[in-house]
Amino acid sequence: MIPLLSLILVLPIAAQGRVVKLDGSSVTGNITAATIEKIEVQSGSDAVAVAPGDVLRLSFGADSTLIRQASGYLKKLEFQNAINLLTEAEGQADPAWMPPYAKLLKAEALLSWSGFDKNRAGEASAAFTEWIATYPDHYWQTRARLGQATAMGRAGKVQDAGKALQDLAGFAFDKNLGKHVEFLARLTRCEVFLEGNEAALAKQRLEGSNGLVATLKTAANSPESPTALRTVLHGYWVRAQILLGDSLEQASGLDDAKRYWENVLRSEKKLSDDARANGKIVIARASREAGKLREAQFALAEIAATLNCGPDTMARALFTLGEVCQELGDKPTPGTTYFRRVVERYPASPWAAKARKKLGN
């Protein structure tokens, strides 16, 4: 076990950490304690205590050269090189926050790798389990438990992962860690169910007046929610909307997903570009299935040209556009043009793996 000193993290004077609070304000200085029970920051001559439930995010200081190099390898999907560097960084005792930070990043790198190679999921789960046992009181305990459950689900232990995330949501509530932590555990649970081919379970928790989509919408738009928290919860709401559409398609078919998105696009006045694009993609795919290829092609091209979407959504739109173009005889643009664009611009997206196959790579 790691000594208590690594749990109550004492930093050298030169290392500046930052705690961002739910209201958007922040405290900068040397983070001298970072546990589930307390956050303390030495800011100038003042010792500032921040309740863990008021924390939106926390960083300890500037990344080392090894961490930056590892991040570069991860962007290129060179996972083994990144993990080797993170293992080396994990052995650095100075600053004191580096070992738990590097060790957690290594587990998360293995989790990312498992998105491309599911054989790595067990290794990722074991790495998170070791981190949790080594740093049982660390503030990042919830972050590690989220990763652990995702890895468990990817390794085929979907029900165990769902139970772990249910427990984490209860833990966040009991420890008063903030609604965003509890919501993220519930949202991740739905993602694990969907990825594990348990779409009906995800759908059950997402839809309806008491479901996660409606609950997140209310919380994200409530004036009682602090400013920065509302921004985070709005992002969760978007993820939940997309998850529900995907769950409906997996559980009931494309027509049900199409009806859901048509209703969302018609009734929601403040829809994000990501949600709007995902809805339009599903409707375009339904047009494609009905043989209306030109209509589908136009809708998908419009998404790519006019909406400011996140990488996964844009990769999904471009990949689907490539398929439609191929079915139209590569007119007016070859489908491979869009597959290459997905690979070049969004290499970490799961759609990039599908595009590589289309390109014969």
Q: Which pTM does this prediction carry?
A: 0.90
Query: Tell me: the pLDDT tens digits for 120-132?
Result: 999 999 999 999 9
What was the pLDDT predicted at 15? 47
What is each CA distance from 13 to 1, 29, 80, 282, in whole angstroms? Answer: 26, 9, 33, 53
- The rounded distance, in Å, linking the Cα atoms of 330 and 344 is 20
Q: How confident is the model at residue 10 (pLDDT cuts 50, 70, 90)?
A: very low
1 pLDDT higher than 60:
no
Query: Tell me: the pLDDT tens digits for 214-254?
Result: 999 999 999 998 989 999 999 999 999 999 999 999 999 99
What is each CA distance from 206 to 44, 231, 261, in whole angstroms? Answer: 46, 20, 14
Q: Between vectors from CA 239 to CA 104 and to CA 186, what angle results, nearest 5°?
A: 65
The residue behind tokens 């196959």 is 357
* Ordered structural domains, the chain, with CATH: 4-59 (2.30.30.100), 157-252 (no CATH), 266-361 (1.25.40)
What average pLDDT does range 49-77 have in this prediction? 92
What was the pLDDT predicted at 16? 80
What was the pLDDT predicted at 257? 97
Contacts of 52 (CB under 8 A, 6+ apart): 35, 36, 37, 38, 39, 139, 175, 176, 177, 178
Q: How confident is the model at residue 23 (pLDDT cuts 50, 70, 90)?
A: very high
Pairing of strands 17-21, 39-43: unpaired
What average pLDDT does range 15-44 have in this prediction? 90
Query: Tell me: the pLDDT tens digits for 264-284?
Result: 999 998 899 999 999 999 999
